[in-house]
Structure 1
Amino acid sequence: MTGFDWEGLVTFLGRRYDDVLELAGEHLLVVLISLAIALIIGVGIGMLVWNKPVARSVSISATAVMLTIPSLALLALLSPLLGLGWGPSVVALVFYSLLPIVRNTVVGLREVPLPILESARGVGMGPLRVLFTMQLPIAWPVILTGIRVAAQLTVGIAAIAAYVAGPGLGQYIFKGLSSLGSKNALNYALTGTVGVLLLALLLDAAFLLIARLTISKGLK
């Protein structure tokens, strides 16, 4: 790559401002869609297995193994089945989001104090009512932490999804790497990388706000 030129970067951004914003919006959207799907699947799995030792161990171990699969390899395997673009990107991001959500859901539900559960059952609450009205609200801070971790993972991995023509700022990173030595190679790579970092920080700040608004003061 050529040396860094601040004025050149400013000019580069000025000419591609709309494009950068569009890619940033796509990056954020694919992350949010993937997180929403992973949240439904992950919390659902956690609710089903939290009190079943064998199923719990298998679920957490399976999602942990899934996380060890290299992202480029997974995207390469998914692209023949789902084509290029959003399809393999969303599936891969959901895939990598499951471990922190499943694990934290299980941990959160198991950490609800036994006296609270016994009191709820003592007043006639059934298992489902106890789960939804007592356990999940108390476990929510732990579950939200898992979602927050998953969000940070997906923001970074979403950049790699550009390998299969996925949406987002990864397109600029790959364009910069594929054009090493050209005038704007560093500008492309730097814009994409810094953009991903800024999105990660903004998303993390959003989760801090969500935690502040949704977690009961008695649980803080």
Structure 2
Amino acid sequence: MGRGVLHLVEALDFLRANGAELLDKTWEHFYISLIALLLGIIAAVPLGVLLTRMKKGAGIAIAVVNIIQTLPSLAILAFFIPLLGVGKVPAIAALFFYSVLPILRNTYTGIKSVNRNLLESGKGIGMTAWEQIRLVELPLAVPVIMAGIRTSAIYLIGWATLASFIGGGGLGDYIFIGLNLYQPEYIIGGAVPVTLLAIVTDAVLHQAERKVTPDGLKGLKEVS
């Protein structure tokens, strides 16, 4: 019990000494993750739609992205250092690679699961291919796509702690300072905000999902 109280006192002292910097690093951590997520959405959603139009090669493309996803995070970060140097840019580039798979897979799955009869009806009333995508397929696939986006966002917030290794900043700075100096208050000061940030981000995206999901689909079970 005494040790727990001691850690609590140390954490409170840490907050008093580093409160303003903690807010800065939390924001820094968030926008690194957010930019990578937005880039992932911009790349993965159109690619997922495109793969549904391919009779061959879709499985291979998703398998390649799967392989990239299995590469160690530090290896990806190190790969970008010779190309982009150190700092936030290579960190965002590496996180972008990890953001793609959940969104791509769910976009592909969501579009493929749309009832073909609805698409035939769209053709029957003269819809173009783009109109079918925009007015039928994407709205119906929204719950599945948003599930992928939420999964990707949670992953990215966790993985963004590694940006500290290459000078990308964020809450990982505190975690690695704590590990190197054996100071638990720094580890707690970095890890707790990361967890809270992930929880809040997931809740916000959940509300966004409800707003963009057609009313008739809101009762359906989400696929993640």
- Normalization by structure 1: what TM-score? 0.94
CA contact (8 A) 2:35 2:92 kept: yes
Distance 1:25 1:62 in 2: 33
**How far off is 1:107 after superposition?**
0.4
Output one character per residue of 1:66-122: Cα deviation in whole Å (capped at 9) or x when no partner.
Answer: 110000111112112111111111011110011101100000100110110000000
> What secondary structure sits across from 1:168 in the alignment?
coil
1:186 aligns with 2:188: no
The counterpart of 1:27, out of the listed 23, 26, 29, is 29
Identity %: 37
Kindly report the root-mean-square deviation, in angstroms, between the aligned alpha carbons of the 2 structures: 1.1
Contact preservation (8 Å) 2:175, 2:187: yes
Are residue 210 (structure 1) and residue 212 (structure 2) matched? no
> How many matched pairs?
214
Structure 2 counterpart of 1:68: 70
Match of 1:36 in 2: 38
List aligned pairs for 1:141-220, cutoff 5 A: 141-180=143-182, 185-220=183-218
C-alpha displacement at 1:161, in angstroms? 1.3
1:159-202 Cα offsets, whole Å, 9 max, x none, are 0111111121011011111112xxxx111111101111010001
> Matched residues in 2 for 1:31 and 1:115: separation?
39
Give the distance between the partners of 1:167 and 1:48, measured in 2 at CA: 35
Q: Unmatched 5+ residue regions in structure 2?
A: 219-224
8 Å CA contact 1:103–1:146 kept in 2: the answer is yes
- Runs of 4 or more, structure 1, over 3 Å off, are none
Give 1:137's aligned residue.
139
* 5+ long unaligned stretches in structure 1: none
Among 6, 19, 37, the residue aligned to 2:8: 6
Q: Please state if 1:15 is matched with 2:13.
A: no
Report if the CA contact (8 A) 1:37-1:94 is conserved: yes
